[in-house]
Amino acid sequence: MARGCRDRLSRRQLLKSGLALAAGAVALGPRRALGQDCPDCTRWALLSDTHIAANPENRFRGFYPYRNLQEVMAQITGNVPDGVVITGDLARWRGETPSYERLKTMLAPISQQRPVHLGIGNHDNRKNFLRTFDDYDRMNDSGDNKHVVTINAGCVRLIVLDTLLFINTNPGILGRSQRTWLESYLQACDDRPTILLLHHTPYGDLLDTRRLFDIVKPVPKVKAIIYGHSHAYRFAEADGVHLINLPATGFNFSDRHPVGWVEARFTQQGGEFRLHAIGGNTDDDGRTINLKWRA
């Protein structure tokens, strides 16, 4: 772990941070659609941990992931964003092909209108995923057959990374080849604000977090890292980089956390994040967090 990161944010502090912000402000303004009257921004739907099974009646902790995603898709298609990203654990435990086929059908109403980009988590099977979604993303060549996608989203750039290590085990890793690719890509690309999206939790189950921050800390264009995996909704900050932990769409692990998705508006100056809680703890449903990017 890089010294600066360790000094400012320990793993325990991250896990206890909740909605506490190291920078930015909380706004509880009118429930307008994010991005309205903003020509220099882009609005995205951010999801994680959908955990779709082949059987739509699959249930865990009282939640039905299939029904949850149905509800989320209805909300998204009712106010279509510029794009959608799901940061991994797309399928139930082992990433079986029928799960991906069902997920693809569920995403069709939005994928036919807007780009949908999918990351890979520890409950995904890369081979089955790539075979099913072969018409979705064109991968960047990061080595090790990792599923990496770069997205030029107007005023910002999104980079979807692949942290799958072993199927159905908790730890994840970027790996040397993907880190080398990321470092080179960040040096070569333009200076628009860049957001990294991945599955595993930094300072949690991502084994090469320190090496990741060795890459991004000296590159000010990297403004935030967005991830899932913990099935919790949290904001934190390390070395000026915002850490945004998306809630799970499928189910939570604790009644303290929401189930749902996040509507994000990105500008060159910062990000605005609104929680859409469809289950679990819905106390913060509609709450908006405003973050200012580091210089």
Q: What is the pLDDT of residue 138?
A: 75
Looking at domain 3-292, its CATH class is alpha beta
Q: What is the pLDDT of residue 25?
A: 31
Task: Report the alpha-carbon distance of residue 163 to residue 185 in Å, rounded.
Answer: 17
Alpha carbon distances (Å) from 10 to 56, 163, 233, 237, 238: 39, 21, 17, 11, 9
List the chain residues with pLDDT less than 70: 1-39
Task: Report the alpha-carbon distance of residue 238 to residue 152 in Å, rounded.
Answer: 25
Determine the 3-state secondary structure of 277 from DSSP. Answer: strand
Domain segments of the chain as ranges: 3-292
Q: What is the pLDDT of residue 226?
A: 98
pLDDT in tens, 253-268: 999 999 999 999 999 9
* HEC sequence for 87-145: CCCCECCCCCHHHHHHHHHHHHHHHCCCCEEECECCCCCHHHHHHHCCCCCCCCCCCCC
Give this prediction's pTM: 0.89
Task: Report the alpha-carbon distance of residue 238 to residue 244 in Å, rounded.
Answer: 11
Q: What is the pLDDT of residue 204?
A: 87
